[in-house]
Chains A and B, each alone.
Chain A
Amino acid sequence: MEPTSHAFKANAHRALGDANLQRAMTMMRTGFPEKRAQAIARLPEFEALRDEGIAIKNHVIAHLDFYLERFEQNVVANGGKVHWCRTAQEARETVLALCRALDAKTVTKGKSMVGEEIAINDFLEKNGITPVETDLGEYIVQIRHEPPSHIIAPAVHLVKEQVADSFRATHTHLPHDRVLEEPRVMTDEARSVLRQKFLAADVGITGANFLIAETGSSIIVTNEGNGDLTQILPKAHIVLASLEKVVPTLEDASTMLRLLARSATGQEFSTYTTVSTGPRRATDTDGPGEYHVVILDNGRSALLGGEFQDMLRCIRCAACLNHCPVYGAIGGHAYGWVYSGPMGAVLTPTLIGIEEAGNLPNASTFCGRCESVCPMRIPLPKMMRQWREREFSKRLSPATQRWGLALWAFAAQRPVLYRQVSALAARVLGFFGAGRGRFRALPLAGGWTDMRDMPAPEGKSFMTLWAERQRKTRRVS
């Protein structure tokens, strides 16, 4: 998808005024955090499991070449194939070539964020192959020609009336005046439409939550079972995965899985956890005839050894989105690309550049909830700060902000001047604000006072009060 991250402020503004979105986000803000808290309260070992999960990921990152090589060997030993892709373009072309070799007309898809990242649907469609998203949320956003707004709940920005409208517009074989009020009825309708797509598809594409070096397996985690019908029924199963998804053993994957569902949806375990190894065996009566794993780098190897390396631990659980006050207020589309929320604010600039995505690391109150709920304890606020520093040093931040900071820095380096200016400002503001105690508008501070009032100082600066206090205590002693 074409990024609109540069227009974040306008996007966010629009989002705040969108009544349907605001209704949907209100439901979202309470649901996920409560369920996560309940699941974690049931598992006394959760914190210890986090530490073990982090150790596994850090070990893999330090030995990434070793485990990727071993993964490839074991995929091949089981009759599958691995395709290495440096860029989104290479990955798109690889998938297209595989589909063409099978003379594919339609492709079913399980939810894949790497698929979104490489915009595989548009590319296949342009080349005459019909991709069908099968996760209910992904299907809804596909028929609405929208990108997903959340990495695990793609249609979380919609209310059911919008879904009903889209179903009516798309499923024209059904009576137009049918009743579509309940999620149950809409789910049944999508189920029967998509069941036929599953049965007709030539190729199934899924993502991967983990790749296992020991066995050459890929793992997907779903609740609907769509990822399973996607990979069992067609002639070939293509797995889209980024290279940091590899873990050493089935035991390591088990530890990661204990963290994933609880952090994501607050479930003890997702309904379907599926481990796929190679194509169907000679004696099997079902399963795909071919198994391909497309491994994408797309800028990830460049994170190794740098200040954003820890981001490679991310398991895409979305806990940081679910607990973020900024995400909760504006939803995912405002972020303007595939990944949103705190993880998106850190990852997006690494993948599409700080020039395009510089606004995202600024979309944070630094409340720290993201880091506190991240199962991998990724220091997201620190990384957003690092992006802000880079943005500043690359002179990408707005001129008024740069001038303001330069002015502040000039004064802050001259303590006497700083004290005089701040004391004067406190007195002046205190004088004018004395009546009401707050300001509705202030010159040069419209960005602040448009949305909220500025409290009026009480007339003395902190430094003045401190000096007075010091004098008093000295007198007493």
Chain B
Amino acid sequence: MSEARDQIFGDIRARLGRGRLDPAANAAAEERLNAHRRNLVPARAASLDHAGQVALFIAEAQAVDTTIARVANAGDVPGAVADFLSSQNLPARLVMTPDPKLDAIPWDARPMLELRRGRAEDSDAAGITGAFAAIAETGTLMLISGELTPTRNNFLPDTHIVVLRASEVVACYEDGWDRLRTAGAMPRTVNFITGPSRTGDIEQRLVLGAHGPRRLHIVLIDDAGG
């Protein structure tokens, strides 16, 4: 429908009272697009040191029903996961993304945890993923899709456990974008996740677990001295 395209662009330019942008305006818009300049970033997180940002991340995440367990090192993660599952009366069966970041964790230390590495299916009641970053400003996790990090693992299981390192906590969304641009090309999906799934569509009464996970639990490894 290139005829429609031509007409839409023609109408836009006619209403704006010009043809295509003149070279100077075009160059200015181009520059604006490529500079990735930040607009105002709230002081809430940006004014804190990293330990303060981690503390803020925890407080903000907990305020939206995320639960968090802090552990000293990767060796404590399997125990923290097992403890959480038993505290919720959940079976110790999990699907885990084949994310290399999760491989460093000594899962064998807890042979009671039954782990399946791969893509989540509807029958998976609980899952473990890593995260790309975490945003202190609003207690938000940032996850990206990729060969070893399928997006569906963030949504299909009823219980989503995220293993996060304190060094992955950044102040704001803009810090997350910078990390992503450094890491390489834009992935198919970037998920910002702030708490478990919820709805207020019936009489505005908050119900957790509308379509995505009912529970979002973070095991936070204190690897940053924070």
Interface residues of B in 57-81 (CB under 8 A from A): 60, 63-64
- A468 CA to B203 CA in the complex, in Å? 57
| Residue ID in chain B nearest A214 by CB atoms | B33
Is A176 close to B, CB under 8 A?
Answer: no
- Which of A279-287, A341-349, A351-359, A394-402 binds B? A279-287
Do B42 and A186 touch (CB < 8 A)?
no
- Which of A129-137, A407-415, A456-464 binds B? A129-137
Residues of A within 8 A of B172 (CB): 254
Residue in A66, A232, A265, A295 whose CB lies within 8 Å of B200: A265
- Which of A203-211, A218-226, A332-340, A442-450 binds B? A218-226
| Size class of the contact patch on chain B | 35 or more
Residues of A within 8 A of B38 (CB): 251
Do A243 and B8 touch (CB < 8 A)?
yes
Q: A84-B4, A223-B210 are in contact. Are A251 and B37 (CB under 8 A)?
A: yes
Taking the closest CB of chain B, its distance from the CB of A210, in whole angstroms, is 13
Do B155 and A228 touch (CB < 8 A)?
yes
Taking the closest CB of chain A, its distance from the CB of B91, in whole angstroms, is 19
| Residue ID in chain A nearest B42 by CB atoms | A45
Do B199 and A224 touch (CB < 8 A)?
yes
Give per-residue flags for A254-272: 1 if the beta carbon is below 8 A from chain B beta carbons, else 0.
1101100000010111111
15 further A-B pairs in the complex, CB-CB below 8 A; given A248-B33, A280-B145: A155-B201, A187-B199, A223-B198, A224-B199, A232-B155, A255-B40, A272-B192, A273-B194, A274-B189, A274-B190, A285-B119, A286-B150, A287-B188, A287-B189, A305-B15
Is B48 close to A, CB under 8 A?
Answer: no
- A262 CA to B44 CA in the complex, in Å? 15
Residues of B within 8 A of A257 (CB): 173
Is A183 close to B, CB under 8 A?
Answer: yes
Residues of A within 8 A of B151 (CB): 228, 232, 286-287
Residue in B193, B196, B207 whose CB lies within 8 Å of A187: B207
Do B40 and A284 touch (CB < 8 A)?
no
Residues of B within 8 A of A21 (CB): none
Do A279 and B188 touch (CB < 8 A)?
yes
| Residue ID in chain B nearest A65 by CB atoms | B12
Do A153 and B204 touch (CB < 8 A)?
yes
Q: A251-B177, A287-B188 are in contact. Are A304 and B210 (CB under 8 A)?
A: no
Do B8 and A297 touch (CB < 8 A)?
yes
Is A88 close to B, CB under 8 A?
Answer: no
Residues of B within 8 A of A297 (CB): 8, 11
Is B124 close to A, CB under 8 A?
Answer: no
Do A271 and B191 touch (CB < 8 A)?
no
Do A48 and B40 touch (CB < 8 A)?
yes
- A293 CA to B192 CA in the complex, in Å? 21
Residue in A64, A158, A271 whose CB lies within 8 Å of B197: A271
Residues of B within 8 A of A67 (CB): 29
Residue in B2, B139, B140, B211 whose CB lies within 8 Å of A224: B211
Taking the closest CB of chain A, its distance from the CB of B12, in whole angstroms, is 5
- A27 CA to B196 CA in the complex, in Å? 24
Taking the closest CB of chain B, its distance from the CB of A247, in whole angstroms, is 11
Residue in B9, B15, B152, B209 whose CB lies within 8 Å of A232: B152
Q: A251-B177, A301-B15 are in contact. Are A215 and B186 (CB under 8 A)?
A: yes
- A136 CA to B191 CA in the complex, in Å? 21
| Residue ID in chain B nearest A249 by CB atoms | B36
- A297 CA to B213 CA in the complex, in Å? 36
Give per-residue flags for B182-226: 1 if the beta carbon is below 8 A from chain A beta carbons, else 0.
000011111111111111111111010111110000000000000
Q: Which residues does B use to contact A, with CB under 8 Å?
A: 1-2, 4-5, 7-9, 11-13, 15-17, 20-21, 25-26, 29, 32-33, 36-40, 42-44, 60, 63-64, 119, 122, 138-140, 145-147, 150-152, 154-156, 172-174, 177, 186-205, 207, 209-213
Do A271 and B32 touch (CB < 8 A)?
no
Residues of A within 8 A of B64 (CB): 267-268, 271
Do B21 and A31 touch (CB < 8 A)?
no
Do A159 and B201 touch (CB < 8 A)?
no
Closest 9 CB pairs of A and B: A225-B212, A224-B210, A304-B15, A137-B201, A183-B202, A84-B5, A273-B192, A283-B147, A275-B190
Do B40 and A229 touch (CB < 8 A)?
no
Residues of B within 8 A of A382 (CB): none
Residue in B4, B63, B195, B204 whose CB lies within 8 Å of A85: B4
Residues of A within 8 A of B13 (CB): 65
Offer 20 A-B interface pairs, CB within 8 angstroms, sorted by A.
A43-B42, A45-B43, A65-B21, A69-B9, A90-B4, A194-B211, A223-B200, A232-B155, A249-B32, A251-B36, A267-B64, A272-B193, A274-B190, A277-B186, A277-B188, A284-B147, A285-B147, A285-B150, A287-B151, A297-B8
Residue in B16, B119, B155, B173 whose CB lies within 8 Å of A305: B16
Is A250 close to B, CB under 8 A?
Answer: yes
- A53 CA to B106 CA in the complex, in Å? 47
| Residue ID in chain A nearest B153 by CB atoms | A286
Q: A52-B40, A64-B16, A84-B5 are in contact. Are A225 and B192 (CB under 8 A)?
A: no
- A336 CA to B173 CA in the complex, in Å? 39
Is A63 close to B, CB under 8 A?
Answer: yes
Do B188 and A153 touch (CB < 8 A)?
no
Give per-residue flags for A277-320: 1 if the beta carbon is below 8 A from chain B beta carbons, else 0.
11111011111000000010100011111100000000000000
Residue in B1, B195, B201 whose CB lies within 8 Å of A271: B195
| Residue ID in chain B nearest A303 by CB atoms | B15
Do B119 and A136 touch (CB < 8 A)?
no
Give per-residue flags for A225-237: 1 if the beta carbon is below 8 A from chain B beta carbons, else 0.
1101100110000
